[in-house]
Amino acid sequence: MTAPFQLAAIGGPWGKRLEQRRRGFDDYPWHEIAAGDDADGDDADVDAARLVWTQSAFSEYASAAAFAEIASALLAAAAPIDLIAAAGDFVVDEMLHAELSARVAMGLGGAVLLEVDHERLVRPAAGDNPLRRAAELLVRTSCVGEALTVPLLKLAMQRTGSSLIETVLARIVRDESAHAELGPWFLDWADAELSDADRCYLGNVAGDAIAAYAPLFGGSCQTSEGKADHGVLDCASFDATFASALQSRVVDPLALRGIVVPDEALKTALEQPAW
C-alpha cells in the first residue's frame, strides 16, 4: 500500500544520539535558498530540482533500508563483525543524507508529493544460502548502486554554482565512497566460499541492478547543457559519466573477482539515453 513519503523526528534522547553525526548541519549556508538566492532563474528548472531532491531524499531512505537488510544478511552469513558494524552504521549515514536532501528540496520551494510503498523498499535476496544472499544484496547496493552514485555526485558537486549544494553533496559523497567499498571487501573475504555458480549468479544480479538503476539515475538529469544548476547534471554529462563509471567502478572491479556482468545488460544500459 502506498502512502506519501515524508520524514519526521521525535527528538528527546533519540535526537541526541544523532547530535555528533549531525554536527555542523545547521551551519551549512541554508540562507542561500531560504532567501531565494539559489532558487532564482527558470521556474521549470527549479521545479525539476525540487523533484530531483525529493527523489534523492527517498532514494537515501530506501538505501537505509537496504543497508539494514545487508546488516541482517551479514549476521546470518557469520561475516566479520567490523563489516556487520559498518553496514549498520551506514543506515545512519543514509538517514542523514535523506534529511539533507529533504532540506534542500524544502529550501527550493517545497518537496514534491511522492507516493511510496514502505513495505517494498528493498528487493528481497533470492539466493539459496546466507552467503549468497549477503553477496547478492551487497553487489546490488554497494558494488552497483553506490559505486555509480559517487562519480555522478562528484561531478554535480564540481559544477554547481551554489556553496550550499556543494557542501551538501560533499558530505554525501564522503559517506557514499565508503558505502561503495563494503561490497568488494565482503567479496574478497568470501572469495574462497564462492563457487563458479555463485559468481555467475552474482554477475546476473549486477546486470539486473544496472538495468534497474540506469533509468532511475537518468531521470535525475536536465536536458539543457551547462552547469549543474541546483546540483542537477545536464543529461549529456550524465551519460558520459555514467558510461565511464559503469566500466571502471562496476564492471572492472567485479571482473577482478570473477564476477562477469552480461554484455546484454551493459548494452541496454548504455544505449538508453538519460533523457
Tell me the sheet residues that pair with 3.
116
For residues 132-143, average pLDDT: 98
CB 134 within 8 A of CB 70: yes
If phi > 0 it is left, if psi is from -120 to 50 it is alpha, else beta; for residue 258 that is: left
Question: How many CA within 13 A on the CB side of residue 71?
Answer: 17
In-domain check, residue 2: no
Q: For the residues 55-69, what does the mean pLDDT come to?
A: 97
Rounded to the nearest 10°, the torsion over CA 5, 167, 47, 224 is -130
Q: Whole-angstrom Cα distance, residue 114 to residue 72?
A: 28
Residue 113: CATH number of its domain:
1.20.1260.10
d(CA 166, CA 78): 39
What range does the domain containing 134 cover?
40-271
- For residue 115, the cross-strand partners are 4
- Distance between start and end Cα atoms, the chain: 30
- Rounded to the nearest integer, the mean pLDDT of the chain is 90
In a domain, 110, yes or no: yes
Question: Total domain count for the chain?
Answer: 1
CA angle 2, 12, 118 (to 5 degrees): 10
Of the listed ranges 31-40, 55-64, 241-250, 265-274, the least confidently predicted one is 31-40
% the chain with pLDDT above 70: 90
Give Rg (Cα) of the chain: 19
For the segment 185-243, what is each residue's pLDDT rounded down to a tens digit? 999 999 999 999 999 999 999 999 998 877 665 556 776 665 667 888 888 888 889 99
Q: Is the pLDDT of residue 34 over 60?
A: no
Residue 37 pLDDT more than 90?
A: no
In a domain, 1, yes or no: no
**Count of all residues that appear for the chain in the document:** 275
| Predicted local distance difference test score (pLDDT) of residue 231 | 85
Residue 94 burial class via C-beta count within 10 angstroms: exposed 0-12, middle 13-18, buried 19 and up:
buried
pLDDT at 65: 98
pLDDT grade for 161, boundaries at 50, 70 and 90: confident
In a domain, 130, yes or no: yes
- Confidence check: pLDDT of 273 > 60: no
Instruction: Tell me, yes or no, whether 174 lies in a domain.
Output: yes
pLDDT of residue 196: 97
At 48, list the grid cell: 525539476
pLDDT at 39: 47
What pLDDT does 35 receive?
Answer: 46
Residues in Cβ contact with 144 at an 8 Å cutoff, skipping those fewer than 6 apart: 206, 209, 210, 213, 250
- The whole-angstrom separation of Cα 57 and Cα 52 is 9
Q: Residue 102: is its pLDDT beyond 60?
A: yes
Flag whether 11 is in a domain.
no
Residue 32 has pLDDT above 90, yes or no: no
Q: Tell me if 112 is assigned to some domain.
A: yes
pLDDT at position 272: 63
Q: Which of 37-46, 126-135, 207-216 has the lowest mean pLDDT?
A: 37-46
